[in-house]
């Protein structure tokens, strides 16, 4: 009889302490759509752009004690917006490599950037929602003569203050352009 009572008590405890860990729906609700303000903070066609810095986590091989290890390195790519020169900095060994964009790739980049605007999304949190206070780093920084725009960054886990292109298509084009350039780097030597 004691086993039955203990089993019943544990069942009740489990039922009462159950937490619903179901993944939240990623699609915005009508309420969250109404709580979103998109504020344009820069029209890039009117800005004096100096450089663009991209960051990318990549696998890098490192040799130590006659063994080869693969580690993830946070590499940065600093692109001079006028000349098309790229400096790739590898975090693991502090090395740098220099590449140069072709005229066609540089023209394509200028087309993407100069037809875009940077916006700050300000979402109002629905009542009762809790949000983490964690900085979300961006995928690229556009450096102008007066300020830096950290694209894709946010000040919390709910993206209530996210900075990015106003148009999602511009974000996709810039990310796609950068992925294509990374694949072509060995052919983009400076002459």
| SS3 per-residue string spanning 168-183 | HHHHHHHHHHHHHHHH
Per-residue model confidence (pLDDT) at position 22? 43
Q: Is residue 106 part of a domain?
A: yes
Q: Is residue 168 part of a domain?
A: yes
CB under 8 Å to 53, separation ≥6 — which residues?
Answer: 76, 77, 78, 79, 140, 141, 143
Per-residue model confidence (pLDDT) at position 105? 94
Per-residue model confidence (pLDDT) at position 179? 94
Q: Is residue 16 part of a domain?
A: no
Residues lower than pLDDT 50 in the chain: 20-34
Kindly give the pairing relationship between strand 140-144 and strand 49-64.
Answer: antiparallel
Per-residue model confidence (pLDDT) at position 31? 40
Q: Starting at the edge strand that comes first in sequence, how are the strands of the sheet with 36-43 ordered?
A: 36-43, 117-123, 161-165
Q: Is residue 23 part of a domain?
A: no
Q: How far apart are CA 131 and CA 112, in angstroms?
A: 33
* Structural domain harbouring 56: 32-125+132-186
CB under 8 Å to 59, separation ≥6 — which residues?
Answer: 70, 71, 72, 73
Q: Is residue 11 part of a domain?
A: no
Closest CA to 50 of 149, 153, 170, 136: 149
Domain count, the chain: 1
Q: Is residue 24 part of a domain?
A: no
Q: Sort 174 into a burial class: Cβ within 10 Å, 0-12 / 13-18 / 19+.
A: buried
Q: Is residue 97 part of a domain?
A: yes
Q: What is the DSSP letter of 139?
A: S
Q: Is residue 9 part of a domain?
A: no
Return phi, psi of residue 127, to 5°.
-60, 135
Per-residue model confidence (pLDDT) at position 171? 93
Per-residue model confidence (pLDDT) at position 128? 76
């Amino acid at each position: 009889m004691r086993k039955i009572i203990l089993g019943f008590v544990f069942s009740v405890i489990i039922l009462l302490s159950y937490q619903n860990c179901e993944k939240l729906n990623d699609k915005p609700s009508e309420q969250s759509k109404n709580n979103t303000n998109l504020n344009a903070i820069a029209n890039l066609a009117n800005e004096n752009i100096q450089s663009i810095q991209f960051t990318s986590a990549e696998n890098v091989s490192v040799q130590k004690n006659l063994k080869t290890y693969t580690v993830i390195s946070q590499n940065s790519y600093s692109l001079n917006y006028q000349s098309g020169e790229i400096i790739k900095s590898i975090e693991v060994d502090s090395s740098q490599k220099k590449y140069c964009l072709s005229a066609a790739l540089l023209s394509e980049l200028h087309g993407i950037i100069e037809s875009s605007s940077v916006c700050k999304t300000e979402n109002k949190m629905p009542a009762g929602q809790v949000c983490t206070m964690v900085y979300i780093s961006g995928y690229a920084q556009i450096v102008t003569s007066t300020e830096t725009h950290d694209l894709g960054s946010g000040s919390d886990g709910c993206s209530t203050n996210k900075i990015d292109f106003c148009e999602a298509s511009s974000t996709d084009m810039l990310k796609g352009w950068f992925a294509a350039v990374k694949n072509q780097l060995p052919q983009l030597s400076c002459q």
